[in-house]
Amino acid sequence: MADQRPEPLRLGTVAPNFKADTTAGPIDFHEWIGDKWVVFFSHPEDYTPVCTTELGAFAKLEPEFTKRGAKLIGLSANTLGSHEGWIKDIAEVTGGKVSFPIIADKERKVAYLYDMLDYQDTTNVDEKGIAFTIRSVFIIDPSKKIRLILSYPASTGRNSAEVLRVLDSLQTGDKHKITTPINWVPGDDVIVAPSVKNEQAKELFPDFRIVKPYLRFTPLPKDKATVA
């Protein structure tokens, strides 16, 4: 299977386009993205415990992604019928009603394209021994460029709030000439981007402070750090 791996995807490259069947109907991925941000994530298999908790959490948080102009879309190597039945279980178990599309990728075509398959966990396979997907996350911007790549093993559930936090950071950084420090959340101080000289920083951020020549903090109100 290793010889079937695609070229590595990197930050800043255009997300590969594809056509696929989803629980919301067939899509052309780039057309579906339109002018929105996208959180594209895979899960190993329907009707499994960790995946059920994850999809429920993303469903509950979907309104927050929508406020930020972002769409959610999931994927696994299961059929549409499996997805549709499992969605009912997710709502029953977690209270999260999945309304975003889930891609049916039984043949792993999209999974190969995005290098989502599990090469580490020998138990994360189907009845034929073919690898299922890991817990991949891609954040894609409106220009179709990949801005974030995360890979979690099948055994570890993701943190949906962290994915939202990264989206906030990316959108805030695009809007303002800043970067965000560790554990940042909207409303916290941000870091003036290294490319901004002190003279320009005084104009952009009147209240910025210099801790070290390479470390300059500035307040940024929460409403400016949230892009609707």
Active site residues: 51
Quickly tell me which residue has 């954040």 as its tokens. 139
Can you tell me which residue has the tokens 């981007």?
193
Q: Do the beta carbons of residue 192 and residue 217 sit within 8 Å?
A: yes
Are 65 and 71 in contact, with CB atoms under 8 Å apart?
yes
What is the per-residue DSSP string for 146-169?
EEEEEEE-TTS---HHHHHHHHHH
Tokens representing 6? Answer: 């695609």
